[in-house]
Amino acid sequence: MSKRDIIICRCEDVSLADIHEALDMGYRDFESIKRILRVGMGPCQGQSCAHLVKNEIARYNKVNPETVKIHKTRPLISGVVLKDIAESDEDE
């Protein structure tokens, strides 16, 4: 299977080939790669791609995957409709 056809981030449609190109260009950590390719920026916020990207970074840098940092967990953990928040405590 070609690296182009292996999808790493389904939310933002990023392939394994894209990840390898970014690594080759010198983006060698999760945060930098995220800024260029949008991995982890979609609705799942990296829950499916982060560990895959982490492994690729570790392999490229020849380090233990445990030592590779991924992005910060930020609210919200799953998508919420803004209107629901707006109307949640009208009497405040």
Partner 1 sequence: MNRAEIVIVGAGISGLSIAYNLAKKGMKNIVVLDKSHFLAGATARCGAGVRQQWATELNCILARKSIEFFSHANETLNYHRDIEFKQGGYLILSTSKEEDIQFEKNVKLQNSLGIPTKHLTKDEALKIVPHLNPDSFTTATFCETDGHINPFLMSEAYYLAAQKLGVEFHFFNEVEDIVLEDGKIAKVITDKMEIQTNKVVDAAGGYAQEIGGMVGIDIPVYSENHEILVTERATQMLEPMVMSFSKNIYCQQVPHGSIMMGRNNPNALHNHDVSSSWRFLDKMAKTVNHILPEVAKQRVIRTWGGLYNITPDFQPIISDSNVKGFYIACGYSGHGFMFAPITGELLTEIILGEPLEYYAKALHMDRFNDMDKIDKEHSVV
Please report, as ranges, the residues that interact with partner 1 according to CB under 8 A: 27, 29, 31-32, 35-36, 38, 41-43, 45, 74-76, 79-83, 85-89
Within 8 A by CB and 6+ apart from 12, the residues are 37, 38, 39, 41, 42
**3-class SS of residue 31:** helix
Contact 10, 48 (CB under 8 A): yes
Smallest separation, CB 50 to partner 1 (Å):
14
Toward partner 1, which CB reaches closer, 63 or 85?
A: 85
1 versus 86: smaller Cβ distance to partner 1: 86
Distance of CA 44 to the CA centre of its chain: 9
In the bound complex, what is the minimum distance in angstroms from residue 5's beta carbon to partner 1?
22
